[in-house]
Amino acid sequence: MKRKVVSVLLSTAMAVTMLAGCGGNSGSSAAPSEAAPASEAAAPETAPSAEAAASEIASSEAGTEAAASGETISVGFAQVGHESDWRTAATKSVQDAFSAENGFDLQFVDCDNDSAAQLEAVRNFIQQDVDYIVIDPIVSTGWDTVLQECEDAGIPVIVIDRTIDDSDKYTAWVGSQFTNEGLAAGAWLKDYAAAKGMDELNILVISGTTGASAQLGRSNGFDEYVKAEGWNKLDEQTGDFTQEGGQEVMESYCKSYEGKFNVVVCQNDNEAFGAQQAMDAAGVSYGVGGDVVLISFDACTAGLQQVLDGKINADFQCNPLSGPDCASIVQKLQAGEEVEKETFMAEPWYVAESDLTSITYKNASGEEVTEDLIPVTQEIVDAAY
């Protein structure tokens, strides 16, 4: 019997403090430029493999319970699309967790970044009378009616990654605190500029899909530092989280702001790869020792390789491996247990240089926190998602 239950989830994967995950990246995201010398600074030993193992164990345990019950659990998954390496890893994580071997029947729809198609996919899941629905929302609003329909049908909804802002009619959410990612990037840039003697910051931002919670959080968090420090943000335009979008926006920037910028912030790695292509073509140097500081988010394998090569100065991870947490939530709901409304993924901050070892900032909850900065090593790249 379907029922909506709200309560406490204890996630195995959250017990590990460092993540670099598993899963391949798409071949389209290979970085375009020639590698610079890798940073020689030795990084502290991290535990990416332990985090990946914890995720696999959590998923396996959830699957074992489902298989043991002799009952196949049907799940509908409405994914944003396939625009980035991050999205590929997130999709694979959910598909692996809700596999047939684990006792699930997963109905997957790639919505290709079309909000109307995503709403239609969810309504189709309702008509199919699935047991659970997983949604990674393309935008954060416009969900109240369809989530009410899910509730009326007695189908619990798990939201992952991005957030829904105009309805609370979902059972649980698993993802990242995007505002903290933006705040951390701002805190790092402040300290990095001071360490490098950069008196004036002229910043260009290539943002993600307009209205997505990841875009809103990263922009809002970073903008707090722009305002507080009096930085000059020259422009912000969307690259839709794609390499092509990043390249197109950066090509325009290189013409409009030639010689006027020294910081570029890309809201995911694929946008950063596109921005690199555009700056290479325009003869603009970037990264460690370059004329432009390049900041990115997501920390996928190719992104971390660029950090190691000195082509990206800092990369703030957004953990895509939410599948095991989702499967654990389903199993607890099946058992009549309560789950937490929100589960935050563990995420480290990666840098190309070892000059700064940590940053201190006030997070989205108003708490002052000090967090490590991790210089990237080949071991970290090899273990990444």
pLDDT tens digits for range 167-191: 999 999 999 999 999 999 999 999 9
Task: Specify whether 360 is located in the same domain as 338.
Answer: no
Residue 228: the pLDDT is 98
How confident is the model over 348-370, as a mean pLDDT?
Answer: 97
- 6 within a domain of the structure (yes/no): no
Q: How many distinct structural domains can be found in the chain? A: 2
Determine the pLDDT at residue 385. 86
Residue-wise pLDDT tens digits, 75-133: 999 999 999 989 999 999 999 999 999 999 999 999 999 999 999 999 999 999 999 99
Residue 142: inside a domain, yes or no? yes
Q: Residue 355 CB: number of other CB atoms within 10 A?
A: 13
Residue 33 to residue 348: CA distance in whole angstroms:
25
> Residues 188-217: pLDDT tens digits?
999 999 999 999 999 999 999 999 999 999
DSSP 178: H
Q: Which residues does 314 contact at the CB level (< 8 Å), separation at least 6?
A: 185, 188, 189, 192, 295, 296, 307, 349, 350, 351, 352, 373
Q: Establish if 8 belongs to a structural domain.
A: no
Q: State yes or no: pLDDT of 20 exceeds 60.
A: no
Kindly state whether residues 314 and 338 are assigned to the same domain: no
What distance in Å separates the CA atoms of residue 24 and residue 182, rounded to the nearest whole number?
26
Q: Over 70: is that where the pLDDT of 61 sits?
A: no
Same domain, 190 and 235: yes
SS3 294: strand
The pLDDT, as a whole number, for residue 22 is: 31
Say what percent of the chain tops pLDDT 90.
80
CA dist list (Å): 210 to 122, 206, 225, 241, 249: 22, 11, 20, 10, 14
Task: Say yes or no: 255 and 108 in one domain.
Answer: no
- Is 7 inside a domain boundary? no
User: What is residue 368's predicted lDDT score, i.e. its pLDDT?
Assistant: 98
Whether the per-residue pLDDT at 231 is higher than 50: the answer is yes
Tell me if 1 is assigned to some domain.
Answer: no
Return the higher-pLDDT residue of 297 and 61: 297
Instruction: Give percent above pLDDT 70 in the chain.
Output: 82
pLDDT, position 48: 37
Q: Provide the CATH number for the domain around residue 360.
A: 3.40.50.2300
Residues 286 and 241 in one domain: yes
**Rounded distance between C-alpha atoms, residue 122 and residue 80, angstroms:** 12
- Considering Cα of 114, then 115, then 120, then 121, what sign does the dihedral take? positive
User: Is 248 in the same domain as 338?
Assistant: no
In single-letter form, the type of residue at position 142 comes to G
Task: Place 70 in a pLDDT band, splitting at 50, 70 and 90.
Answer: low
Are 161 and 136 in contact by the 8 Å Cβ rule? The answer is yes
Distance CA 137, CA 174 (A): 12
251 lies in the same domain as 211: yes
> Do 190 and 308 fall into the same domain?
yes
Contact indicator for 33, 302 with CB cutoff of 8 Å: no
Residue 4 belongs to some domain of the structure: no
Q: Are residues 379 and 239 in the same domain?
A: yes
Range name among 2-6, 29-33, 271-275 with the lowest pLDDT average: 2-6
Flag whether 3 is in a domain: no
pLDDT band at 15 (very low <50, low <70, confident <90, very high): very low
The CA-based angle 210-213-219, given to 5 degrees, is 70
Q: Which structural domain, as residue segments, surrounds residue 302?
A: 178-318+349-383
Query: In sequence order, what are the residues at sequence separation of 6 or more whose Cβ sits closer than 8 angstroms to the Cβ of residue 348?
Result: 17, 18, 19, 46, 299, 317, 372, 374
- CA distances (Å), 183 to each of 116, 195, 253, 294, 375, in order? 32, 18, 24, 16, 19
- Domain annotation covers residue 289: yes
Pair (23, 110) in one structural domain: yes
pLDDT of residue 143: 97
pLDDT value at residue 172: 98
Q: What is the per-residue pLDDT for 238?
A: 98
Q: What is the mean pLDDT of residues 36-58?
A: 37
Is the pLDDT score of 252 beyond 50? yes
Tell whether 312 and 324 lie within a shared domain: no
Mean pLDDT of the chain: 86
Q: Is the pLDDT of residue 39 over 70?
A: no
What's the pLDDT at 194?
98
In this predicted model, which residue has the larger pLDDT, 49 or 137?
Answer: 137
> Which pLDDT does position 69 carry in this prediction?
54
Instruction: Please determine, for residue 321, whether its predicted confidence score (pLDDT) is greater than 70.
Output: yes
Contact 208, 81 (CB under 8 A): no
Tokens, residue 45: 């030993």
Q: How far apart are the first and last CA of the chain?
A: 36
Same structural domain for residues 60 and 163?
A: yes
